[in-house]
Amino acid sequence: MEEHAFTRQCIDALRRYSEKHRLGIMAYCFMPDHLHLLLQGRPGASVPDFVKEFKQRTGYDYRQAHGRQLWQKSYHDHILRGEEDVERVARYVIGNPVRAGLVRHAEDYPYSGSFVWGQAIMEA
């Protein structure tokens, strides 16, 4: 399976499993060797359950197509504090491909965005 098609499949899975687990995806960015997510939980949300299911399902598909592991076993999380601006953090996440030299403008990168704010976060 081509990497572009697989990443699009992962974005679809991200949408599906975030909705199932009652999480808003404020920002996401699939980088060549890792993934950044900014999540907002709703009542009843479980980040560990979401991460487990998302990684299991996408990891299985990747292993079937490529014969190797996609995700590491753990993940790093950070809870935003009251003084941290969610929109600023979302723009930081979406700006990762620019800082990494992959594109000149965040809106040119096809593997990042927001399911909550849509394109508006890219243009702000």
Domains of the chain plus CATH, in order, are 3-123 (3.30.70.1290)
Q: What is the pTM of this model?
A: 0.88
Q: Within 13 A of 120's CA, how many CA atoms are on the CB side? A: 6
Torsion of CA 103, 105, 106, 110, to 10 degrees: -50
pLDDT tens per residue across span 60-108:
999 998 899 999 888 888 888 887 889 999 999 999 999 999 999 999 9
Give me the sheet containing 35-41, strands edge to edge.
Answer: 35-41, 23-30, 112-113
